[in-house]
Structure 1
Amino acid sequence: MSIKVANISKNYGEQEALKDVSFSINKGEIVGFLGPNGAGKSTMMKILTTFIAPSSGSAEVNHFAIDRDKMGVQKSVGYLPEHNPLHLDMYVREYLEYTASLYKTPKNRIEELISQCGLKPEANKKIGALSKGYRQRVGLAAALIGNPEVLILDEPTTGLDPNQLLEIRKLIKNIGKEKTVLLSTHIMQEVEAICDRVIIINKGKIVADKKLADLRKSQQQIIEVEFDYRVEDVLLKQLPMVTKVKNTIGFVYELTFETDKDMRAKVFDFAHDNGLKTLQLNQKNKNLESLFIELTNK
């Protein structure tokens, strides 16, 4: 097991940033760590990198305890914080050589990473002259310089344009073939494209821990329908396999069905049989974004 978190809490004075958080990540998993601003994502990542200590609870990274084996944790982890701390006046290769010297890493490792992270065209430029996308590549290369078992990335694609985002996404996916990756992001498409699993945190507590494959196989289906008149919920609940009826606005209803079969024909027939006109009828299968909104708006 690469990461094991048990009952971690963290207080900043009166504010409780994390509340009894527990989860584990197996070797080779790419896990998306999601939550609204202030949910506790960055705090959890800082604890796992030993940058800050928890108020209570315990955690292990690559079998090293964060309180007793800090040096072991730090050698096992590559960390890219949200605000990538680079020396802008240094050249790319110079900066990576400097970072490698701290880890006592062989120089051939630098050339490997320059190639792996797509930095060859920019290797002899100053970091301050690079685009945001290339700076993120330098940050990733620096995080990988010690050949860590675990990679922790805090908002690695913030501020990137669509082309840069695709490039960094591909890079992280390739890195994940050999490393365990814990990735924090606000971009749902990012998680669905890269990750094997998602952990959602809200107000310091874990509210969901799901494999993406299981989420995709979910049989829950949402249909949004607008009639020309108001309909009693009790009547709509007579539809087959309906589990939830919600009147969202005016004559618009959100119907949740526990099936993967397209239920729009049944809703249309229901309207016809009850003398109603169907003004709009849309299918909205439950995805990561709707799950996130549902869990973090409570």
Structure 2
Amino acid sequence: MEISLRLEKVRKSFADKLLFSDLSYTFYKRNYHLVGKNGVGKSTLLRLMVGLDSIDSGSILLNGRYPVAERSINAKKIFYIPDDLPIYPFLTGHEFLSWIAKLRLSTAKEIHRVMERLELTANQNSYIADMSFGTKKKFLLASILLGHADFIILDEPLNGLDKNSQQVLLEMLREKAEYSGIILTTHHEANIDLLHPITVGIVENSLVESIKW
């Protein structure tokens, strides 16, 4: 079965504001750059796609079978990083990655490899609460590079990273793309050419490929 994330006639509103109505699109095991004007609902759409926000009607199915709202099933199949930093301040960097690795059946060798690539080894014994924004962000991003997922979904993953870290992250995502579909938003558009993504724009309640902004 081909890996897919299918939206069918999705409707979502907040109070009196309608964000999406009859939204349909299918993502496959490819790289996607989700674009749209500010306030159009990019972050909300990502949260809907991982089951963290509920839809009013329609369906979002992983691999044609699993509703994304069933987080117990999809948590190991979809890795997601939001724009903010939902990370545990009372853990050290290494403790955090070890916990994630245990959930995803990854190895100590893989933790070491990811930390080394992202230049996190020197910070592994520091508490997350004491880290800079950029270092916290790198540990959070390192967590989605452990194990294998059907989809990796990232909201502004390059924010807070220096140019070298951005380049390394994109190279590692390109490696993960052998196994996973990757969907991301970013304002650093020039940098993501490394992924050769399909550009998908939110336009008038539709998802349209190859939109230029």
Give the partner amino acid of 2:97. Answer: L
1:76 aligns with 2:77: yes
Relative to the length of structure 2, the TM-score reads 0.84
Give the partner amino acid of 1:6. Answer: E
- Native 8 Å contact 2:76 2:104 kept in 1: no
1:157 aligns with 2:149: no
Deviation at 1:43, TM superposition (A): 1.2
Deviation at 1:153, TM superposition (A): 0.4
Deviation at 1:131, TM superposition (A): 4.3
- Native 8 Å contact 1:2 1:25 kept in 2: yes
- Residue 98 to residue 67, structure 1, CA distance change in 2 (3 Å): closer
Deviation at 1:128, TM superposition (A): 3.7
Offset from partner CA, 1:181-223 (integer Å, 9 cap, x none): 11111222134332330101145432x313xxxxxxxxxxxxx
Counterpart for residue 14 of structure 2: 12
Relative to the length of structure 1, the TM-score reads 0.62
Give the partner amino acid of 1:3. Answer: L
Bigger CA radius of gyration = 1
Give, in whole Å, the separation in 2 of the partners of 1:20 and 1:60.
Answer: 15
SS at match of 2:184: strand
- Native 8 Å contact 1:8 1:59 kept in 2: yes
Percent of paired sites with the same residue: 22
Greater shift, 80-89 or 141-150, is seen at 141-150
Greater shift, 59-68 or 192-201, is seen at 59-68
Deviation at 1:54, TM superposition (A): 0.8
- Native 8 Å contact 2:49 2:68 kept in 1: no
Gaps of 5+ in 2: none
1:45 aligns with 2:64: no
Counterpart for residue 142 of structure 2: 141
Give the partner amino acid of 1:119. Answer: L
Give the partner amino acid of 1:136. Answer: K
Gaps of 5+ in 1: 211-287, 293-298
Counterpart for residue 125 of structure 2: 124
Give, in whole Å, the separation in 1 of the partners of 2:13 and 2:70.
Answer: 22
- Native 8 Å contact 2:171 2:194 kept in 1: no
Give the partner amino acid of 2:127. Answer: K
What is the number of residues matched between the two proteins?
210
User: Which one has more relative contact order, counting CA pairs under 8 Å at least 6 apart?
Assistant: 2
